[in-house]
């Protein structure tokens, strides 16, 4: 059958099985994200490997050079727009995020946007020349550098969103036998960096399931905290 119809093997193995498997993968992750009441960014991460494979199949199909050329144009616009808007980042400075932190972030954003723009322009030109593999490499490199610039540069303002520095400052001052309470809030990074079990006070939210199974490790109100604080040998 493959001899009579050379496209049969690709249609049966790639389209009927692999592509449909990938599309089902993408659909399940997306539906899970929509159904979840708490939508954390990490929930969408499993979708990217399947999307990357589908994009690769799309770019490697018939007329690959033409597809790569025209798929590069939207990113050229994004890169150029990014370069134009980076200077406006400092307008978002506030008491919580000082101007100096935004200014430290800007070079990373400039670098990421510039690399995205240059990579996409190179991919567009290489696609027009028929250099498909080189165009894909330029597309991939520009996108990778753009993402890494945003993520690595965010370390400059990471202290605002992470309890790493706080945990480092108080870790040596809190002996293992001293109970640690988190009142009306839950900072996920604090427990991780402090490497301590924390007793939640007047906060349930996403911890409700665990609290229902270990109610003795939860204090429902401030009055209960006061009693626990007085009864503790040290706090």
Specify whether 197 is located in the same domain as 210.
yes
Specify whether 80 is located in the same domain as 152.
yes
**In the chain, how many domains are there?**
3
- Over the stretch 147-156, which tens digit does the pLDDT of each residue have? 999 989 988 8
Q: Report the C-alpha gap between 168 and 6 in whole angstroms.
A: 63
Q: Which domain holds residue 141?
A: 64-161
pLDDT-derived band at 8, boundaries 50, 70, 90 = low
Specify whether 168 is located in the same domain as 204.
yes
Q: Does 13 reside within a domain?
A: no
Specify whether 144 is located in the same domain as 189.
no
pLDDT of the residue at 196: 82
Q: Where are the alpha helices (DSSP H) in the chain?
A: 8-9, 20-35, 47-59, 64-85, 99-129, 132-153, 158-161, 164-170, 188-194, 208-213, 222-231
Contact status, residue 225 vs residue 208, Cβ threshold 8 Å: no
pLDDT of the residue at 148: 92
Task: Name every residue whose Cβ is closer than 8 Å to that of residue 63 and which is 6 or more positions away in sequence.
Answer: none
Specify whether 81 is located in the same domain as 140.
yes
Average pLDDT, the chain: 83
- Over the stretch 21-64, which tens digit does the pLDDT of each residue have? 888 888 898 888 888 777 777 888 889 888 888 887 777 766 66
Specify whether 199 is located in the same domain as 220.
yes
Specify whether 54 is located in the same domain as 78.
no
Specify whether 105 is located in the same domain as 31.
no
pLDDT of the residue at 123: 87
Task: Name every residue whose Cβ is closer than 8 Å to that of residue 76 and which is 6 or more positions away in sequence.
Answer: 117, 120, 121, 124
Residue 3 has pLDDT above 60, yes or no: no
- Over the stretch 168-219, which tens digit does the pLDDT of each residue have? 888 778 777 788 888 988 888 888 888 888 888 999 888 888 898 988 889 9
Q: Does 3 reside within a domain?
A: no
Specify whether 69 is located in the same domain as 157.
yes
Bridge partners, 118 (sequence order): none
pLDDT of the residue at 114: 93
Specify whether 186 is located in the same domain as 141.
no
Return the closest-CA partner of residue 217 out of 235, 230, 204. Answer: 204
Residue 223 has pLDDT above 60, yes or no: yes
Q: Does 118 reside within a domain?
A: yes
pLDDT of the residue at 61: 65
> Pick from 132, 161, 190: which residue ends a domain?
161
221 dihedral zone (left: phi>0; alpha: psi -120 to 50; beta) = beta
């Amino acid at each position: 059958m493959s001899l009579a119809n050379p496209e049969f093997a690709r249609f049966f193995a790639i389209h009927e099985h692999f592509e449909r498997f990938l599309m089902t993968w993408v659909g399940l992750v997306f539906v899970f994200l929509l159904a979840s009441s708490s939508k954390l960014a990490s929930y969408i991460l499993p979708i990217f490997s399947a999307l990357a494979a589908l994009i690769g199949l799309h770019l490697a199909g018939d007329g690959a050079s033409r597809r790569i050329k025209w798929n590069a144009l939207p990113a050229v616009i994004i890169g150029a727009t990014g370069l134009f808007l980076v200077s406006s980042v400092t307008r978002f400075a506030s008491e919580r995020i000082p101007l100096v932190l935004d200014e430290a972030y800007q070079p990373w954003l400039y670098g990421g946007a510039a690399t995205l723009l240059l990579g996409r322009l190179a991919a567009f030109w290489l696609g027009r020349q028929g250099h498909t593999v080189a165009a894909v490499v330029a597309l991939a490199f520009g996108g990778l550098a753009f993402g890494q610039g945003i993520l690595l540069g965010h370390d400059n303002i990471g202290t605002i969103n992470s309890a790493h520095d706080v945990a480092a400052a108080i870790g040596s001052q809190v002996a293992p036998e001293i109970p640690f309470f988190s009142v009306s809030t839950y900072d996920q990074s604090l427990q991780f960096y402090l490497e301590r079990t924390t007793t939640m006070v007047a906060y349930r939210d996403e911890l409700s399931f665990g609290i229902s199974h270990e109610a003795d490790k939860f204090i429902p109100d401030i009055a209960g905290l006061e009693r626990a604080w007085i009864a503790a040998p040290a706090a």
